[in-house]
Structure 1
């Protein structure tokens, strides 16, 4: 009987000690960790969108493509991915050759760690055809951009994906 009591006490002690040895719980699930980006990095990321808007609004496909990394990809709706700066330049060049555009972009969330970040936000644009009699285009929607910090401290799009909030026209 004494042996059984010792085994029972040993089991209770091991059970009690196991709770003391477990790691501390992290923050509750509804609390997110603060961004690992400096205010300067957040400002540089916002400047990428500003450079994109200025270049697109000026009709400059070369300058639009310059905000993408050499290995960047544009994931436009209903099209295959445009991979690499040359393909992205050709995509935007084709669009900007046909339309005069007005882009507005606003970031809702910028987060990141180290040399990677994401920027989630919304856009609005209008496109007036350069050819008389052709229909114009207007859209608004949301985007997600993955950016990589460059050796010079600037940021460039690695992935740029957007989709419309407007209903499909049939």
Structure 2
């Protein structure tokens, strides 16, 4: 075998090893993330939370939060965990009939984490009578993809727009 033949054989073998490794890597690579589907799922989860709010359903709202979620309502200590989330909303529903209109203005996804920035208008009608309370706010949710592929809120913080 000539020197050229040996060199050519070595070169071909290197390419075979390289192409085999490349093919194996392609087979084990995770599927590409579909950001549009993630944004749609996050937006739908937010709409479900708003619907639960409008139905005075504190347990359903809490179901959209992680076990260790942080709720940062204006003028309140941070509430930690689903139970704190449920208790916060139940305290509102015990006193008021709620009407909420909200939407995300921006959603960004990076891997299994995301955030949604939005606007909300809330009307609280006292159950015992009296003038409704109307407020608008800006909010930020941090979300995490769960092992089943769903999205849940890990942090929810907002503040009012009124002085």
TM-score range, shorter chain: 0.7 to 0.9
TM-score (norm 1): 0.74
1:60 corresponds to 2:81? no
- Tell me the matched-pair count: 131
Note the C-alpha offset of 1:106: 1.3
1:10-49 to structure 2, matched below 5 A, reads 38-49=35-46
Aligned to 1:94: 91
- Superposed CA deviations along residues 68-119 of structure 1, whole A, max 9, x for unmatched, are 1111111001110011000110010111111111111111111121110000
Partner secondary structure for residue 120 of structure 1: strand
**Runs of at least 4 residues off by over 3 Å:** none
- Residue pair 1:37, 1:112 contacting (<8 A) in 2 also: no
For 1:154 and 1:77, locate their aligned partners in 2 and report how far apart those are by CA, in whole Å: 28
- Residue of structure 2 aligned with 1:163, choices 132, 140, 159: 159
SS at 2:148 equivalent:
coil
Q: Distance between the aligned counterparts of 1:98 and 1:49, measured in 2?
A: 23
State the Cα RMSD in Å.
Answer: 1.2
Do 1:82 and 1:88's aligned partners in 2 also have CA atoms closer than 8 Å? yes
Question: Does the CA contact (< 8 Å) of 2:140 and 2:156 recur in 1?
Answer: yes
Listed as ranges, the gaps of 5+ residues in structure 2 are: 1-32
Correspondent of 1:147 among 116, 123, 143: 143
For structure 1, the residue ranges without an aligned partner over 5 or more in a row are: 1-35
| Cα deviation digits, residues 34-66 of structure 1 (max 9, x gap) | xx7611110010011101111010011100111
TM-score (norm 2): 0.77
- Which structure has the highest helix share of the two? 2
